[in-house]
Structure 1
Amino acid sequence: MPDDLPLSRKQLLSIVQSTARINLWEGSVRSGKTIASLIRWLCYVADAPTGGELVMVGRTRDSLYRNIIAPLMNPDLFGELAQQVKYTNGAAIAYILGRAVHVLGANDAKAEPKIRGMTCAGGYADELTTLPKPFFDQLVARCSVPGAQIFATTNPDNPGHWVKRDYLRRAAETRLRTWHFRLDDNPFLDPAYVSALKSTYTGLFYRRNILGHWVQAEGAIYDSFDEARHVVTDVPHITRWLCDAIDYGTTNPYSDLLIGLGTDNRLYVVSEYRWDSRAERRKKTDAEYSAARRAWLQGVPHPQTNVLGVRPEWTVVDPSAASYIEQLHRDGVSGVTPADNAVLDGIRTVGSLFAGDRLRIHASARGLIEEIPGYSWDDDKAEKGEDAPIKLDDHSCDALRYGVRTTEALWRPHIPTLLEVA
């Protein structure tokens, strides 16, 4: 690796001292934990025990490539060593310093059999809290070659999460050594970048991703939402109609939000169609919802113009509403796609937009405006180590995160104040 690669004292200590059976770098984003763990992993692979297989695992192969393997292949980071890392994205095997390394995704409980039967000489786990516990337990068991070690990174999570409960709190029993990193432990970041990154987060995600705390989800989810600031009666010209985003309901309310990108580089919820069958005392069929959606969009005015009617690029639909998705296809609606339903990722993204004043809502979207203040973390699930919203009066809030998260690749280049972090 380059001689001038800057490393902090904490990074250097973690590299030298990571001789335990399990070694975990945990803490805030952009704190330097990943680069330290990768240097240690390269050192380990270069001299790993023979007679067993090496494994790298992430939530998915794509995330593992993006977070870990691509940086290993970057000559700006690892100099000539980067040429000795060979991998094609999506492949099952990488070659690192001449050793074959299994590349695995482990995004649900069904992943555990992938590693069952292996005899491993070492492993690397990215974003450990996103992996199923049975998988990691199996990886620990399978690292049975004498001298085998495991290296892992993670951002903090709920203090009841299995990583905290079963490993960090039982470090001596599990033969684990850990290093805690905070954002301010990385002295090589531009102060302006650090300031912008800190302003990106609020509440729970600030405490976890900036301060590196293992804290329980509690209180309002969008605690930076301010109706006086985020609800507007005047919307600028919309440069791109990104989507209408639908949370489907028959007994529960049906909510459809129209989201566009304004000339001021903000996202706007321009309009909302909502049908509450209990309040209206009548349920609608899929065909009726489709017709109502079409009529609603035809009547939406383009802000700052006299033009009526909007045709969004995408129609993002609750992924559980298979029959309604089929109905939209039958009705010739283009751009229909199931929503990205990664709940915490969606909440974090929406919360960051509110915190940075990059998401505003037109005053006509009353269903959404009324739901947001009561959109709260579920205390009972938090006590069990799970972060989840209370499933009550959350239909427009679900539609909002569906639309924002699913179209992120379209709007993110236009909203540069939001920083991508891992």
Structure 2
Amino acid sequence: MRIKFLPTSAQRKALSLVKSKAKHILLYGGSRSGKTTLLVMVLIYRAIQYAGSRHLICRLRLKDARSSVLHETLLPWLDKTIGPDRYHFIKHENYIALYNGSEIWIGGLGDREQVDRILGHEYNTIYFNEVSQLSYHAVTTAYSRLAMKTPGCRNLFLYDCNPGSPLHWTYKIFVRKIDFKTEDPLNKPGLYTSLLINPKDNLDHLDSGYIDDVLDNLPEKQKDRFLKGLWVKGEGCIYERFEESMIIPPEELPEMDYYTAGQDFGLNITNVKIGYSGERVYIVKDHGGHNITTRSFNDQLKDQGWFLEDLPVYCDPAGGERIQEITGGQKANNAVEPGIDYINSLIERNLFYVCSSCTGVLSEIWDYARDEEDRIIKINDHYMDAMRYGIFSRIQNGIVFS
């Protein structure tokens, strides 16, 4: 079946990446640059070309995957390319069955029931849409499911995003070609490739005034991200004054007077360990997991020698009985705005530092932001919550050094 899709010159460059030896392919850039359409078309082609194959499109939330990918892109293009009578959408299961036995599944990695359902299958293609909203742990948890064997089909990971901060894990892996955790050079950098695609590369498919009247009039930081496709601090960044000079290597950490830790629960579970030297506060360690039990996560921390004697671990008070499964666990002070203000005061007085090995905290700190209505954006904030619990609850308990 011939697919009636005429790619732009930038999209043709992207298609050449699909034909390369790379296994991980990221398209990043500004808004409405055609990234999602192109990768959906690649996935449709693979589903048609390889009968009986299975493919996954996932975002943080299922409802967003259904609205922005399924209904706006995937279903319309299936109608245009193979016709509405040659596939069937199984709504209650969130997958499309094609005429040749291939399947295209839609899912969200931010919901436990969804994760268990979509990761119960193996796939030939996994496409992470808006991957900047997904944690490193969520994405790597899904990696093991790219294991379906279909004759002639080379299995692929596909990704797209509007760029986040230069501390985000996707920037480190795909642009800098370094390991997210260790920052060592990637063992096989040729497996990872990326391409910048911006709105100006997609002019034929945009309203005539979209760039000049909309994107060109955005605030400067948003223009850098959504028009130019640059990796920058998020607009409305909560910890705006945190700078790279506040990131220090492990060997430069001082001797600490005291330690606390903060614990966040949920599908993405995180713990942040904090050290105090005089008036200075240091984020010394962090650890996270995805779709694991609290008890298993606590065992991982024990194996790392995480828990010092009398280490208080201030936990999300909404954790209920899970707090009892954390060594030293106790309810945290969850006063959000006062906690943020306190951490900002530390940053402004040069009393706040993050160890370079704390990749979870660093990947979130510049993307932790507020929306246009001054509400905190609840995406990729698990380390930020744990960090706040650990730092601000210390003040609540009256632990002060002279």
TM-score relative to the length of structure 1: 0.49
Q: Which among 201, 205, 210 is matched to residue 185 of structure 1?
A: 201
SS in 2 for 1:153: strand
In structure 2, the partner of 1:22 is 24
Say whether residues 1:63 and 2:64 are aligned partners.
Answer: yes
SS in 1 for 2:26: strand
Kept in 2, the 8 Å contact 1:160–1:383? The answer is no
Kept in 1, the 8 Å contact 2:222–2:235? The answer is no
CA distance in 2, matches of 1:404, 1:126: 18
Kept in 1, the 8 Å contact 2:123–2:147? The answer is yes
CA distance in 2, matches of 1:194, 1:202: 14
Q: Render the CA deviation track for 1:3-42: whole Å, top value 9, x for unaligned.
A: 8755311112322431331222111111122211111111
In structure 1, the partner of 2:166 is 159
1:1-12 mapped onto 2 (5 Å cutoff):
5-12=5-12
Change (3 A) 1:200 1:380: farther
Gaps of 5+ in 1: 224-319, 322-342, 344-370, 392-396, 406-422
CA distance in 1, matches of 2:132, 2:57: 15
1:82-231 mapped onto 2 (5 Å cutoff):
83-87=85-89, 91-96=93-98, 98=100, 99-107=102-110, 116=119, 118-145=121-148, 147-170=154-177, 172-173=188-189, 175-188=191-204, 189-217=206-234
Q: Render the CA deviation track for 1:147-172: whole Å, top value 9, x for unaligned.
A: 21122211101111111123443374
Q: Render the CA deviation track for 1:300-353: whole Å, top value 9, x for unaligned.
A: xxxxxxxxxxxxxxxxxxxx99xxxxxxxxxxxxxxxxxxxxx9xxxxxxxxxx
Kept in 1, the 8 Å contact 2:47–2:104? The answer is no
Provide the identity percentage.
Answer: 16
Q: Render the CA deviation track for 1:128-148: whole Å, top value 9, x for unaligned.
A: 111222221132232134521
Kept in 2, the 8 Å contact 1:125–1:152? The answer is yes
TM-score relative to the length of structure 2: 0.51
Kept in 1, the 8 Å contact 2:233–2:366? The answer is no
In structure 1, the partner of 2:37 is 35
Residue 181 of structure 1: how far off its partner (Å): 0.5
Letter in 2 for 1:30: R
SS in 2 for 1:74: helix
1:15-414 mapped onto 2 (5 Å cutoff):
15-19=15-19, 20-48=22-50, 53-70=54-71, 71-74=73-76, 78-81=80-83, 83-87=85-89, 91-96=93-98, 98=100, 99-107=102-110, 116=119, 118-145=121-148, 147-170=154-177, 172-173=188-189, 175-188=191-204, 189-217=206-234, 384-387=362-365, 400-402=373-375
SS in 2 for 1:12: helix
Kept in 1, the 8 Å contact 2:4–2:81? The answer is no
CA distance in 1, matches of 2:157, 2:210: 32
Change (3 A) 1:53 1:37: closer
SS in 1 for 2:147: coil
SS in 2 for 1:385: helix
Change (3 A) 1:119 1:3: closer
Kept in 2, the 8 Å contact 1:41–1:151? The answer is no
Change (3 A) 1:57 1:210: same
CA distance in 2, matches of 1:76, 1:122: 17
Residue 113 of structure 1: how far off its partner (Å): 5.0
The structure whose Rg is larger is: 1
Kept in 1, the 8 Å contact 2:165–2:232? The answer is yes
Letter in 1 for 2:169: W
Change (3 A) 1:401 1:81: farther
CA distance in 1, matches of 2:77, 2:116: 35
Q: Render the CA deviation track for 1:244-302: whole Å, top value 9, x for unaligned.
A: xxxxxxxxxxxxxxxxxxxxxxxxxxxxxxxxxxxxxxxxxxxxxxxxxxxxxxxxxxx
In structure 2, the partner of 1:303 is none
Query: Aligned pair count?
Result: 251
Kept in 2, the 8 Å contact 1:109–1:135? The answer is no
Change (3 A) 1:404 1:169: closer
Change (3 A) 1:77 1:3: same
